[in-house]
Amino acid sequence: MPFEYERIKIKKRSTIMANQKGKIDKLSLFLIPIGIAVNFIGGQIAILLKLPLYLDAIGTIVVAALCGYWPGIVVGLVSNILNAISSPTTLFYAPLNMAFAVVAVILSKRKWFKNFFKTVLSALFFALIGGGIGACITWLVYGFDFGSGVSAMFSIPLHQTLGLPKFVAQFIAETSIDVLDKVITVIAVFGVLKAIPMRFLAKLPLGRIYIKDAEMYEDDED
C-alpha cells in the first residue's frame, strides 16, 4: 500500500537522521552550497528590485530549519567568508549569520515555521539578533562609535534629537531596519518550506517537522 509504505519510509529516515548526531548527512552537505548561493542571490534580487533591504539570510534560515545546527552555521559562516572577497568588513559580521542559524533551528524544532503568524513573529527574534549583535559588532569595530552603514543615518538623529546614548541609538536604528528585512525573509522561508515536496523533506534531518500529519504517523507507531 503506498500510504503505508510512505509512513514506514518517514519513520525509517527520521530514525537514521537522528542517529547521525554531530555529523552532516550527504543531502544536507549538498544543500549547504545552495544555501550559500541563495544568501547571495537574495541580496542581488533585492538590488534588482531596488529594495532597500539586505535579504541575505534566507539560505541560512532555510538550511538551518531543515538540516540542523551545523549545516546552518556553516552556511552562515561561509556566506560571510565569500562576501569578504569583495567586501572584507563583512567578515566581522559572521557571528550574526551563525546566530540566525542557531535561532532558526530552535524555532524550527518548536514548529514555529509551520504557522504563518508565528513565522512572521519570528522576524522579531531575528531582527533583535541582527540589531543587537550587529550593533555590538559595529560598536567594537568602529572604535566605540557609530558605524558607516545606512543605520548611521537613523542613529545619529536619534542620538542628537532624543539625546539617546550612542549605543542605544545604534541598537534601535539597526533593529528597526532589520525588522522589515527579516519579515520579508521569514515569509519567503515559510513559502519555501511549505512548497518542498514530502519525499524530499523525509530525507532531511528536520524535514519530518514539515511533513503534513507526520505526528499522526508517529502516534500510530507508539
Partner 1 sequence: MHVEFGNSFKKFYKTGNFWCDLYPTTKLILCFTVAMSTIVMNNWIYGFSVCLFYFIFAFFTGHGKQFTKTFLILFVIIGLFLVVIRQVGMRTGNVTPMFEIFGWIWYRESFITSLDVSSYMLGFAGGILLFFDTTPMRDLMYAFEHMGVSHVTSFIMLSSMQNIIDLRKTSVAILESQKSRGIETDGNILVRSKAFFPTISPLILGAFSSTEEKSIAMDARAFSVKRKHTFLRELKPMSQIEKILCLLFSLALISLTVWKIAAALIK
Residues at the contact surface with partner 1, assessed by CB under 8 A? 26-27, 29-34, 36-38, 40-42, 44-46, 48-52, 55, 58-59, 62, 74, 78, 81-82, 84-89, 91, 141-143, 145-146, 148, 152, 156, 159-160, 166, 184, 187-188, 191-192, 195-197, 200, 203
Cβ proximity to partner 1: between 70 and 125 the closer is: 70
Least distance from partner 1 to the Cβ atom of residue 103, Å: 20
Cβ 222 to partner 1, closest distance in Å?
Answer: 30
- CB-based burial of residue 100 (10 Å sphere; 0-12 exposed, 13-18 middle, 19+ buried)? buried
Q: Let me know how many helices (H) and strands (E) the chain has, helices first.
A: 10, 0
CA–CA distance, 1 with 25 (Å, rounded to integer): 29
C-alpha separations of 6 from 28, 111, 213 in Å: 21, 22, 12
Minimum gap (Å) between residue 1 Cβ and partner 1: 24
Identify which of residues 30 and 221 has a Cβ nearer to partner 1 in the complex: 30
184 to 19, 51, 71, 100, 189: CA distances (angstroms): 35, 11, 22, 15, 9
Beta strands in 40-145 (DSSP E): none
Nine-digit cell at 34? 545552495
Smaller CB separation from partner 1, 165 or 220 = 165
CB closer to partner 1, 41 vs 102: 41
With respect to partner 1, which residue has the nearer C-beta, 164 or 218?
A: 164
- Whether the CB-CB separation of 137 and 96 falls below 8 Å is answered with yes
